Each structure stands twice: as C-alpha cells, then as structure tokens.
Structure 1
Amino acid sequence: MEATHKFVCQDDLTNPLSSMAIQVSCILVISHFFNIVLKALGQPGPIAQILAGLVLGPTGLCNIPDVRKYFLPASAAQYYEMFGFFCRILFMFLFGLEVDIAYIRRNRRVVCMIACGGASIGAIFGLISSFFLRQYLLNKKSPMNAKYVFCMMLFLAYSATPVVNRLAAELRFATSDIGRLAVASALVIELACILVFDLLILFSTGKSSIGNAFLILVGLVLVLVAFRYLATWLNKRINNLKYLRNPEVFLILSILIATSMLIEMSKFNSIIACFLAGVAFPKEGKTARTLLHKLTYSVHNFVLPVYFGYIGFQFDGTYFRSLSHILIVLVLVLLSLTSKIGGVLAVCHYLKIPLSEGVFLSFVLNLKGHADLLFVGSASKLLFDWDAVAYNLLVMTIVINTVISGPMVAVLMKKEYQLFAHSHTTLGTELVEKPENELRVLGCVYGPRQVSAVLSVIATLRGPQTAPIMPYLAHLIELQQKRRTNVSYHELEDDELSDEDEYGGNDVVEIHGAVDAFTKETTILITTIKAVSTLPFLYEDVCTAAEDLRATIILLPFHKHQRIDGKMESGKEAVRTTNQKILRHAPSSVGIVVEKGLAGAVGFAQLTRVDTVQHVATLFFGGPDDREAIAWSTRIANHPRINLTVIRFLPSESSNTRNMRVESEKGNNDIEVFMALSSLEMGNDIDNAFLNDFYNGYVASGKVGYVEKYVNNGTETVAALRDIGDLYALYIVGRGGRGHSPLTTQMSDWEECPELGTVGDLLASSDFNVNGSILVVQQHRHTNKDPIDD
C-alpha cells in the first residue's frame, strides 16, 4: 500500500516509471484507434502506431506544457532507452527463430544483389551529401572526419527489418515470392549496416575494444553452444506437457538478456548477437515451440506497437519552423527514396525482374526504424557530436521516410494484386520444372491417429533429400460451443472458461511427440498450427490458412480408419462433411489419405533405412485429377527409398490400334509409337501429351516404371486392380474429372464415398482387399462448381 502510494500518489507526478507506463498505455490505445480507421483504407498497423506516437509526441499533445512535463521528464531518457533495449532483444531473437535461412541460402545471389543495389546507391548518396550538409548537421566545434561520413552513408543505406517484417505480416505478403525476397534483402542490409557500425566503433575506441570484441565473440559462441545443449535437455526433460514451464523460459531469456547486456556494456550493439542466437537455436522440439508460442503474442501485440510508437513519438515538428530545416529533411528523404529506387531498379533490370516488382521492393527497402536511431544516438555518444538540431532533423527524416513508404507499399499491393496472389495452386503445370523447386504442403489432422499417415505422405512428397519443402501441420479442433454473451463471467461453465490455447488436451502432446520424432528421423522441420472452430465452419480456417501460407497441396485424413479385423470403421460424420467442403472450396490441390493395409501408409521410419525400398503405384485413367496425381508422382519418384510405377488403364481397342501402328512404323522408336495412339477426344490428346513429357523425363531414364493395362469395362478394371492389390504400399489415383469413361462408369454402382471418386472409393472399401494405403488427388478447381454439389 505504501509503495503504491509513493509510486502514484506523490506531489511530483513526473516519476519516470509511472509516466512511461502511462505513455505506453496511451500509445497502445491511440494506435488501436488509428488502426481501426486506417485498416478500412488498407493501411498496415505499423503506420497507425507511428501516427499514435506523433499525436502523443512533441508535435502533438506534448506541445502542452503540463503534458510535456509529465510525459517527458528529464530523468526518463534512460528508462526509455532500457525499455527499447529489451524490446530489441526480444524481437530480434524471435525474428531469428522465424527467419527462413534455407530460402536465403538457396537464393543468396538474388537476395545479396538486391540488398547491394538498395544499399550501395544510398551509401554513395550519403557520402556526397555529407560534404554539403556538414555545416547543418555537425557541431561547429567538431571537425569533419571519416566517422561522420560513414554514419551518413549508413543512415541512407539502412533498411529496417522489424518494420519490413511486420508490414509483410500485416499486409499478408510475407509468404509470397516477392515478399520473401523483400524481407530477406532487408535483413541482409540491416545486418551489414550494423556490422559496419560495430566495426567503426571498434576501430575508434582503441586497442582495448579489440580485446573486448574477441572475448565477446568467444562468449557468444559458448552461449550458442549452451543454448543447443540446453534445448536438447529441456526437450527430453518433460514429456507430458505441451509447452515448457515458465521457469525454463525465464532461464533461456535470462541468459539471452545477460549476454546482450554484457555486449552493450562493452559499447557494442547486441542486435546481431540476438539474431544469431535465434537462428542457431534448435528449431525442433518443445523448447523452440514454447518460445515461439510465448514470444509471438507478446512481441506482436505489445512490444512492436510500442516500438513503432516511439519512432513517431520522437518526431518534433517544431523544428519545421525554419525553411532551411524543412529543406534539409526534404533533401534527405528524397536522397533515401531515389537511392533505393535507382539501386533496386538497376539490379532488377539486370536480373530481369519485372518493373512493378522492382518498384515494390524499392519502397519496402526504404522503410526506416529503430536502428537508424541507434546510429544517430550512439554516434553522438561514442564517435562525435551531432548538433542538437541535426539529431532531431535526422529523426524526422526517419519518421517521414517510413510514413511515406508504408502507405505506398499498401497502394502498390492493391494496384499489383497479381504479384501477391496465390499462384502455385497445382503441381500439374510444374511437371517439367526442376525438382529443387520449393513445395508448400498443409497437412491436416483431427487427432493423433491420423498423424502418421499424413506425415508419411509429406515425407514421400519431399522427393530427393536436397529438395526444399515447407510443410505445415494443422491440428483441426472442434469448438464444442461458443461462449455465451448474455451471462456474467462467473456464470460460465468450465468448458466456456477455457482459453483457445487449452483446446486439444492430450492430443496436442501426442501430435507434438509424433512431429518431433518425424523431424528427428527425416530432418524435415514441420511447423504446427492450430485451427479451433465449430465443425460447420472449420473448412473456412483450413482454406484461409492454405491461402495465407500459399500452400500448393492440402492433405486431409479420411474419416474412416481400419480396425484390427481389416474392416473400415467410420468416425465422425462431421469430419467427412468438413473434408467435402474443403474439396469444394480449396484454393489449391487436395489429397485425401486413406490409411489401409497391415503395413499402413509408407512409414517415414522405414524410409530412413538404407535397406528398405517402398513400392508405390500411380493409377492413370485420364482427366485433370489423374494428371495432377502424375505431377505429384514426379516429386515422389525422386525419393531415394521409393520405387514408383505408373499404371495406365486403356480400352482394349487402343491395343489393336497400337499393334497396327507398330507394324506400319517399325523404324520409329518406342516414344514415337507411344504418341501414335489414336484419339478422338480432346481430353485424351491432353493426356497423351502430358504423359509423353512424363515418359521422356522419368520413364525413359529409368526413374519410373511404366505399365499399360487394357480393359473393356468397369468389371475388368476391378479385376485388374485386384491383381495388383498386394504389390504396393501406396496407391495414388485422381479423384475424378474423367467424364463418362467406359473404364470406370460401371464401378460407380457400389460407390459409398463420392469424395474419393470412383476408383478411390473402390480401393478404400472394406470389401476390396488392398494391402496398401491410398492417396486420392484432386486438382485445384478454378471454379466453385464441384460434383459433390449436385
């Protein structure tokens, strides 16, 4: 009571802690208001938060003397600086955990060239402008030197990764190709600028700093190694909990903060160290999952809004009373914009990147942030003295650059929507592309029972060990009922009180355990997400997640499971309905996994054994879905533990036509004979052309086996399928889209599950003895019309 009274109820209301707490609260409230207004105009959250800082800062409410006295006490500067220090640690560590290093490594040439183009021209402009602006920016007592020139070069070259990353998340272009390139290029620019700044401090503060830098480097390596062993130990320590307990999280963050403070006390910047700690931290297991879970919400909802708010808070418009000050700020803003636009567009022209993408990248890389303030603030303390007016003019330049570039990015996104659209919706168009193209997969499970089958298919779709794949596993959880809004909080039932994070129960622990085991065996990192909704609307969460993640493939588990006696037992009918809705509305291709047979699906544990080879068959009857199944098979065929065979079913009259062609064209090779198959329907022509490309690329080289089976009707097709029922561990088949094919029409008489299609439903039936799992593929529908609507 007494401590609270001293803290709040005192005569001197300029207590720095209380003023900072209320200031943070005001920034959050005002930014939320601006966000509501600007969101309707398509503007991102960071812009609203910077505007909130402007309203609260010296340009706005702090112009009032009493407000200024309370919010800006003389003793509060060190508190604000320390608060920003902790914010910086948490964000950079979280960003290191989330950053896609594999993407940067694969595209390092393009990323580095874009970064160099954006930064180098800015550095040149900074070098030139430093001579002209010297008399306005430097203290009259400070002579012009190389330190000042370097700081101006860094000031104009820098790009703020926190602002870029958050803008990408707000505007939902972070997973697009151009968005990933923008985030990666901004990261390269920021790390390079901070490294140069640290080296500038190192060589400016004497020989003692070199010794300190060496000790810091050794200490940082030891901390990174300690983090790896600590994460491994914590992953094994507790097996019955979804996440680590708070003491373990506190231990990890304490080590990180202590290391950062030691680096800062040695007069170096800890941004790179925090980022490297996040990058080097083991991504698999419960420890990394807990850190992402704990930090993401707090950083995105509290740390970053205050971070962006303080950028705007430091803007002091009173310095615009002088025309010379206005001209200096305008010159710096124009130099920053033109350097980014000119440098990036020049590189994009060389790399043959479209002009629209180049302009977008230019404005993204022109975003400024907190590290600019560090350059300006640290330089005045450690290297030379800025003029007080110069410091504020540079801060105003930072704010104006961001306020201009942020809305421009949003406008360009609306204008060039196709650049950010979900374009990789099917694999059929990528048949002839290289297998090293990245594949994005969204696997869905309703419980632990289906995890093994879905993960097994993900393992096969990876193809070769070097092929990039970005898989996500969505745990679909039924929300039993919505919380009542017409009763008091204490009247709610226990299940209504539960937070969304509590849904899933012990299933979450089992799913996480299976994912961790999968990652350990296959080295494929799975990102787990959760969708909690009522079953009638659960499909919307899946479709939205697939579109946001730009997934090319959605994998769904079948609603039936196999009992010990071999019979297929139905689960919840609502699961089947959800699968049907996803098939109808999916923004990409869909695969339904039916786990069947004594061996089950292609087990990922067996795929990691050197002496084990799994046999997989792709059944081709014709149509877009079967062509998509062949396209999926191109990824599977490159897996070192998969022996793939494509079985094409043809009408018997095609066999006679083929024999006649062979007699008349004996001089032609097999591929020419294969393409000589006569066809009267356009669909068959497309199938033949598609299979010809597949034949030349995979069958002729010996990667894939190819077999043709000739049948007259559905009864003969069923007999042919029974003959191969024991030969393969996985059967891949298209869902439908074949029209009224004589090969399958008579098979629909016993159809039970239309969502599997005619052939898939037959293979999944309890009456059909197939000792292998089934993968039913549906190519992305470009319209909402689907046979299940009929």
Structure 2
Amino acid sequence: MEAARRALCGDDPFNPLITISTQAAGILVISHCFHLFLKQFGQPGPVAQILAGIVLGPSLLSRIDKVNEFFIQPSTGDYYEVFQSIFRTIFMFLIGLQMDIPYMRRNLRKASIIAFGGVTIGALFGVAAFISLVILFKIKAKRLNFSTIIITLLANSASPVVFQLAAELKFLTSDTGRLAVCASLIAEMSCVLWRPIVHTYYLKIGFGILFLVITVALIVVNKYLAFWCNQRIRNQKYVTNAEFLLFLSLLVTAALVIEKFCYNSIISCFLFGLMFPREGKTTRTLLHKLSYATYNFILPVYFGYIGFQLDVSYMGSLIPFVTVIVMILMSIASKIIGTLVACHYLKIPTDEGIVLGFLLDLKGNAELQILRKLSKETLVPWEENVHNLVVTVVVINTVIAGVVVAYILRQKEEYFSHRHTSLELGEPERELRMLVCVYGSRHISSKIALISAFSESLKTPVTAYLMHLVELPKKRTKKNLMYHQLQDGDQYSDKEDYGGDDVVEINDAVDAYTMETKVLIHQKKVVSSFEKLHEDVCDYIEDLRISIIFLTFHKHQRLDGKMESGKDGMRTTNHKVLRHAPCSVGIFVDRGQTGFQQPSPQSVQNIATLFFGGPDDREALGCSKRIAAHPHIHLTLIHFQHSPSSEQIEYSNGTLRRNDEIVMEMSNHEIEAEIDKAFVQDFYNGYVTSGQVGYVGKHVQNGMQTVEALRDIHDTYSLLIVGKGGRGHSALTTGLSDWEECPELGTVGDLLTSSELNITGSVLVIQQYRHSRNDLN
C-alpha cells in the first residue's frame, strides 16, 4: 500500500504517531463524556463517537491554530490511511466471524431484495444528483469518477456502522436487526464491486484473478491452521499469542497487498471471517481478543475519525449548505422508498420497513474509501469541494439516521423488544432460540444431548446458547465494565479467571460436539453471586431474545442412584428465574448414565411427553414438537384422561351440555379443558396419525391411579417431559402434592424425580411464560 510506504519512509515518523495517539485518546475520552449524557436519551455509542470527532476536528477545536498544527500535519494523512485500512480489515473480518450463517442462508433472498431495493433507488437518485451537481459545479473533467462517488454515496450502506448500532441498541439478535446487517453487507459489497466494473481501464484482469486465488488460498490455509492449533494443545482454553499473531498477520498482509493494487479488501476480509472454522479454541481466541479491541478501541476511533474529517466551514455559504441538505434528503428518501417497496413485496410490516430504511441509510465506510482512492488517482479542480461534500453528507446523514433509529426503537419498544412467544402457539418450523445453563462440567454432557435433540431435527432452525454460571466468591467483587464494552463483556473482563478446570472441560465438550455435528453452540459465561445471578440470566434472555431456557436441577445423581443436593444457591437461582424469566423455563433433572443421552444411530432415545392438561403441559407438548422430527428419537405422547362416568359433563361439538340445557358461559377450568382437547387433537392429527409420534392413552380416576400408571413407566423412557402445573383443580393429580419436596418441579415433576417411583430416566419440567398469550394477542 502506497500510504504505508510513505508513512514508514517519512522524515519524522515519531511525531505523527504521537498526534494519532493523542487524537485517539481524545476521541475516546470525549465520546465517553457524550455517551454518558446521550445514553439517557437512548442514543447509541456511534453517535457519541462521531460527535467526539467533530469536536476535535476542523469544525471546533482544530480551528485553533495550535491545535490544527498538532492534529493536521502533512504526514499524518498517510498514517491515518494505514491505520484505517488495518482497522477496517479487522472489523470486517470480525463481522464475518460473528455472522449468523444459518440465518443468512435462510433469508438471503429476502435480504437481497431489501438491499437491492435501496441500492436501485439510491442509484437512480444518484444519477439525478450527478446531473444536477455537474451543472452546479460546472464539472467537465473526470465525470465518470465523479458519478461513481455520488452514486455510491446515495446507494451504499455501511455494514460496520449498522452492525455496531444494532448491537448498541440491543437489536442485533432480532429478526429485523439481523436482516438489516445482511442487507447492508449485500448493499456494501455491491457498491464496492461497482467501481472496478465501471472503471474497466483501471482493472487489471490478471491481478484480479490473482487476488481471488489469494483469497481462496488464505481461506483454505486458515482452515487447516485452525484445525492444527485446535488439536495441538487440548488442555488450554485459548491458543498462544504467537498463533494469534500469525492469523492476524496473514489477514492484515493479504488485505494490504490487495489494497496496494487499488482493489478494495472489504469483500476479501469479510469472506476470511465468514469462512473461518467456527469450532475450537482458535475461533474462541480470535473472538475474545479481537472483539475487545474492536468494540472498545477500533470502532470508536474509526467512527470518531469520520466525524474528525467534517469541516462545517464548507457549509458557510448558501449553495454548499443547500446542496448538503438536498443530498441528505435524497439519501434518506432513496433508502426509505426502496426499502418500503421491497418490504411491501415481502409482506414485511411498515414499522419494520421504516427502521430497516434508516438503518440502511447509515454511511461511513465504502464511500469514503472510494473517495480517497479516486482522489489520489485524479487531481482535478472539483476534488476538494466533492471531498467536503461527501464527508459532510456522510457525517450528518449517519448522525440523523442513528438518532432516528434510536428514537423509533424507544417509542415502539414493545413492538421491537423481545417478544414473549410460547412454544404452544409457535410453528415448529419457526426458529427456536434456546439457552442452556450449566454450573460445572458434570452438567455439560446432558445439556449437549438436550441441545442435540432440538438442533438436529430435520425441520426446526435452532440457535443454541450455552451459559456457564459461575458463583462469584464473596471476597472478590466484579470490576466495572469499560466504556463501549458489550453486554456479554464477561468474556472480556477479569471474570475469565473464574470457572477453573470446568471452563476447559466445557469448551472441549462443546468443540467436540461442533466438530462432529457442525452444529454451532454460542458460549456465554456469567460470574455473579447467587443473590444476583438470576438478574444476569434474565438480562441475557432479553438481549438474546430467548424462546426457552433450560436450567440445571440442584440435585445430582450419585453412583448408587440416589439424588444428592448440591449448593443451595442453585436452587435459589432456579426459583428466581422461574419467577422472573421473560420466556418459558425448563428444569432438567439428569439421571446420569440411565437417563437421557445424546441421540445417535448407536443410541436411539425413547422420550415420553406426559399430558395432564393446562398451559404448562401444552407448552411441554409444543416443546416436544421441536424434537419429534429428530431421526434418532422415538417420541411417545402419554395422555392422561379422567375415566368417563355418568356424573361427568359431556362435551358435544365444542358445546357444553348438562340436563339437555346449553350452558352459555364456561368456567375457566372448562375453557382450559376445551383448549387442551383441541391442542391434543391437533397434535394427534399432525404427528400421531402419520406415525411420527406414538400415542398411549391412560384413563385414571384419581391421584393414586395416576401414581400406579407412572410407576408402570419405570425404565421404558430415557427422558420424560411434563408441564410444571397450571392445571387448576384436577382429579388426576389429587393427593399427589402431599409429599411434595421440590415445588419448582410441580406436582407430577416432583413425583417423577422422587425415589417413590424408582424411575431411571431423566425428567424435563416445563413452565410456560405466564403472560405469553396476552403478549401475542
């Protein structure tokens, strides 16, 4: 890269480095102050960082002569360009590494339509703006370069800004946020490819093929290097610093070589991350170290430097001022119109379309890079005016779009926040976001087996998270999170020291499962006291938009088969999560070797769902739908029904009759009974009649007969799924609560885990989110 050569060969390389370091420190400090104020109004970090750059730049502080001489030196431009290239390389690689590939694969068509809707309208508006500006500025030379800059300015969407803004607003895990990131990537890649396609005389075919080969070769090299590093030392959580620097050096070197020959490295860097192996300690190390540096330093400084380039004196006269305002309005209008048209075609709600439009209107990456490249290649009279115009439009437009998105999300918080959906009402083909919690390595095998039961179904898309809950010793307290640190900053702070050998064993188990099945498990860790552990868990549920969380029962099975209690804090945490979790909750009781194991051709698992009635049992049955399609699971529905008698109420075609009189109003219990009947009938028609699921009917009259029926199960099934309760007064469970020991498991669940029945299978007790039905209405 030419800028790197000039920077390294300069006469005074020390002073510009001090200038850049001081500027970066100033941006971080000022943006922190802005963020402390703006976060009260729901504004994200990138807005504060761009404003900090404006304060330091020629618009404010750099108008002072001494400050200007220090910050804006003749040789600093080359240093800025080199560091920007390195920064851009790292965060584009990181975006690729963090991309939700299954979601992108499922929604590629939808994201492409939305992206090209905005790009097409933006390009049309860009052509109109180009013609107007040619007349206004009387441009006669290098019109093709000028048209490329203007069209890219209006059509582009800066994926790093979209990604960071969505993450700051805790919006990244939502369908709309992920769709916006995918669409912005497609739009940005399209704009990056636009320049070499149009400027064919700059394109050297041989070098283009060479760089394509380099990209593919480095992807292959990374794959084998990562595999070698993962296998080299098995008892470590991370790879060594030397190995980390090797991967980083390969990445940066390849990107700089591509940039040297006037090609844009954005696409290659993104592909390096996207195709990088997701399993093993190599990826964990890259995410751990690059994420901390990127989100706490690289992106804040990068966004700050975008604002630093703004010079408001350019808008001091009427014509430039009007031109900037018109360009901003055209940029916003093109993205809103293009996105809304695409959303209307895809039947996406208008509210989501507007948010997507403003997110895709964020600028600050490809257009500035293309502007710098074209400015170096052609020195023309209009260069300075166009540079000021583009920078001004990018900065103001990005600030406006960021503020508007934050305002819309705050005003429609209920619509865009975590939706408390229940598995009872959800479609089995809809994505399931599940969170599995473990306290130590003894719990990991059963939890991976549970993830496997859901993740390897043939139809159900699953996003699985595994959270390691670690008790914080009372003698040590958590440090305050650093500014810009993510909500999952636990993995980047001193809390990484907690967990002991369990951390390595958990990671090894997850890595082995991922390598075997190619099912990705996202790992999280929470370190807190048991008194506050449930708060962190519930915060993660909201941020990750979890559909159901699976907790670990506080008792574990001994070698003699008896259940032994663990720490009291585990039980307390389970109680609090059951009360406060904004989603459905499952408590998993592991029975060790006799219980549920990972399904495989060599270990086919027999699972039974016990249905007595009520919302929790319906949720349990809805949960069972998700695993019914697993090729190595045999699911059976055991339906407990009250034995018919002459005194019972008869149901006929959904109408309640007694003594030949139609009762117009049903009690809540009777309504629940009708819902149960309809739900079981739908399940029977959809799964049992096709032979996918077995069915056993149990007719009992009281709780004692229910106990006898449960005792007959004995060791038939490796896992029993049942609802916690919510059945109201039911003759099927009358008297079962007399010896209840663990109320968090409900009446039937507590009985199944007791020594009374001598059941050898594991037990999964499900509690439906109590207000889910109201949230969906």
Superposition pairs of residues 159-198 of structure 1, within 5 angstroms? 159-198=157-196
The residue aligned with 1:627 is: 618
Q: From the superposition, tell whether residues 66 and 657 of structure 1 become closer, same or farther in structure 2 (CA, over 3 Å).
A: same
Deviation by residue 1:250-305 (Cα, 9 ceiling, x = unmatched): 01001111111111112111111110000000001111011101111110010000
Q: Structure 2 vs 1, CA of residues 708 and 173 (structure 1 numbering), >3 Å: closer, same or farther?
A: same
Structure 1 unaligned regions, length at least 5: 1-11, 487-497, 663-677, 784-790
Alignment of 1:219-238 (within 5 A): 219-238=214-233
Q: Which deviates more from structure 2 when the two are superposed, residues 688-697 or residues 343-352?
A: 343-352
- Unmatched segments (≥5 aa) in structure 2: 1-11, 480-492, 654-666, 773-777
Find out whether 1:52 has 2:52 as its counterpart: yes
User: What pairs with 1:65-104 in structure 2 (closer than 5 Å)?
Assistant: 65-104=65-104
How large is the Cα RMSD of the aligned pairs? 2.3
* 1:457–1:81 distance in 2 versus 1, CA, 3 Å: same
Q: Which amino acid letter does the alignment assign opposite residue 693 of structure 1?
A: D
Letter in 1 for 2:20: M
Is 2:467 the partner of 1:478? no
1:265 is matched with 260
Q: Is the 8 A contact 2:97 2:273 kept in 1?
A: yes
Inter-partner Cα distance in structure 1 for 2:136 and 2:65: 28
Per-residue CA deviation, residues 38-95 of structure 1 (Å, 9 max, x unaligned), is: 0111111100000000000000100001110011111111001111111101100110
Q: Distance in 2 between matches of 1:307 and 1:138?
A: 34
Using the TM superposition, give the Cα deviation of residue 377 of structure 1 relative to its aligned residue in structure 2, in angstroms.
Answer: 1.1
Query: Mapping of 1:179-578 within 5 angstroms?
Result: 179-201=177-199, 203-205=200-202, 209-382=204-377, 385=380, 386-430=382-426, 433=427, 435-462=428-455, 464-481=457-474, 483=476, 499-578=494-573
Partner letter of residue 747 of structure 2?
T
Partner of 1:148: 146
CA distance in 2, matches of 1:235, 1:197: 40
Q: Secondary structure at the match of 2:20?
A: helix
Cα distance in 2 for partners of 1:368, 1:557 equals 45
Contact 2:420 2:769 in 1 (8 A): no
Q: Cα offset for 1:137?
A: 5.3
* CA–CA separation in structure 1 for the residues paired with 2:645 and 2:20: 81
Provide closer, same or farther for how the CA distance between residues 756 and 680 of structure 1 changes in structure 2, counting only shifts above 3 A: closer
Distance in 2, matches of 1:335 and 1:96, equals: 30
Deviation at 1:740, TM superposition (A): 2.1
Deviation at 1:598, TM superposition (A): 3.9
Give the TM-score, by structure 2 length: 0.91
Residue-by-residue CA offset, 1:172-211 (whole Å, 9 max, x unaligned): 111112111111111110111112224345x2226xx211
Determine if the alignment matches structure 1 residue 650 to structure 2 residue 630.
no
Aligned-residue offset at 1:612: 4.2
- TM-superposed deviation, 1:770: 1.0
Q: How many Å separate the matches in 1 of 2:278 and 2:196?
A: 28
Secondary structure of 2:157's aligned partner: coil
1:14–1:70 Cα contact (<8 Å) kept = no
Q: Check the 8 A contact 2:710/2:757 in 1, yes or no.
A: no
CA distance 1:107–1:90, change in 2 (3 Å):
same
Kindly provide the amino acid, as one letter, of the partner of residue 133 in structure 1: L
- Pairwise CA distance, 1:366: 0.7
Aligned to 1:674: none
State the Cα distance separating 1:439 from its structure 2 match: 0.6
C-alpha change, 1:353 and 1:419, in structure 2 (3 Å) is: same
More displaced 10-residue stretch of structure 1: 383-392 or 265-274: 383-392
What letter corresponds to residue 197 of structure 2 in structure 1?
Answer: L
Give the aligned partner of residue 38 of structure 2.
Answer: 38
Whole-angstrom distance in 1 between the partners of 2:558 and 2:378: 74
Q: Residues 22, 482 of structure 1: CA spacing in aligned structure 2 closer, same or farther, 3 A cutoff?
A: farther
Please list the CA deviations of residues 710-738 of structure 1 after superposition, one character each: whole Å capped at 9, or x if unmatched: 11221111111111112111100001111
What amino acid maps onto 1:315 in structure 2? L
Deviations along 1:291-321, one digit per CA (max 9) or x if unpaired, are 1011111100100000000010000111112
Q: From the superposition, tell whether residues 647 and 148 of structure 1 become closer, same or farther in structure 2 (CA, over 3 Å).
A: same
**Equivalent AA in structure 1 for residue 202 of structure 2:** T
Alignment deviations for residues 497-545 of structure 1 (CA, whole Å, 9 cap, x no partner)? x921111111100000111122123321100000010111001111110
Contact 2:159 2:184 in 1 (8 A): yes
With 346-355 and 704-713 compared, the bigger mean Cα shift is at 346-355
Comparing 32-41 and 713-722, the one that deviates more: 713-722
Tell me the distance in 1 between the aligned counterparts of 2:516 and 2:688. 30
> 1:703 pairs with 687, 692, 700, which one?
692
Hey, what's the Cα distance between the residues in 2 that align with 1:218 and 1:572?
56
Secondary structure at 1:239 match in 2: coil
SS of alignment partner, residue 429 of structure 1: coil
C-alpha deviation, 1:578, in angstroms: 0.6
Distance 2:752 2:386 in 1: 76
Task: Give the match's secondary structure for 2:27.
Answer: helix
Q: Report the Cα offset of residue 383 of structure 1.
A: 5.8
The one-letter code matched in structure 2 to 1:452 is S
Amino acid at match of 1:182: A
Cα distance in structure 1, aligned partners of 2:209 and 2:651: 80
Task: State the distance in 2 between where 1:225 and 1:453 align.
Answer: 34
Distance change >3 Å, CA 598–CA 363, structure 1 → 2: closer
Query: Does the CA-based 8 Å contact 2:85-2:256 persist in structure 1?
Result: no
The alignment status of 1:109 with 2:109, answered yes or no, reads: yes
The residue identity in structure 1 corresponding to 2:159 is T
Q: Distance in 1 between matches of 2:349 and 2:512?
A: 43
Contact preservation (8 Å) 1:311, 1:370 = no
The one-letter amino acid paired with 1:500 is K
* 1:591–1:115 Cα change, 3 Å: same
The structure-2 alpha-carbon separation of the partners of 1:67 and 1:689, relative to structure 1 and needing over 3 Å to count, comes to: same
CA 1:534–1:388 in 2, change beyond 3 Å: closer, same or farther? Answer: same
Distance 2:478 2:513 in 1: 42
Once the two structures are superposed, residues 719-769 of structure 1 have per-residue CA deviations (whole angstroms, 9 ceiling, x without a partner) of 111111121111000011111212112111111111111111111113431
C-alpha distance in 1 between matches for 2:332 and 2:651: 70
* Deviation, structure 1 residue 424: 4.4
Cα 1:771/1:19, change in 2 over 3 Å: same
Aligned residue identity for 2:327: L
Q: How far did residue 352 of structure 1 move? A: 2.2
User: Counterpart in 1 of 2:743?
Assistant: 754
In 2, are the aligned partners of 1:618 and 1:732 still within 8 Å (CA)? yes
Query: What residue in structure 2 maps to residue 776 of structure 1?
Result: 765
Task: Say whether the 8 Å CA contact 1:626–1:736 is kept in structure 2.
Answer: yes
User: Cα offset for 1:466?
Assistant: 4.7
Q: Name the % identity.
A: 53
Cα pair distance change 1:737/1:714, threshold 3 Å:
same
Segment of structure 1 superposing worse, 381-390 or 710-719: 381-390
Q: Is the 8 A contact 1:357 1:419 kept in 2?
A: no
Change (3 A) 1:719 1:197: same
One-letter amino acid matched to 2:61: L
Counterpart of 1:157?
155
**Is the partner of 1:639 in helix, strand or coil?**
coil
What amino acid maps onto 1:318 in structure 2?
S
Match of 1:681 among 659, 662, 670: 670
What SS does the aligned partner of 1:428 have? coil
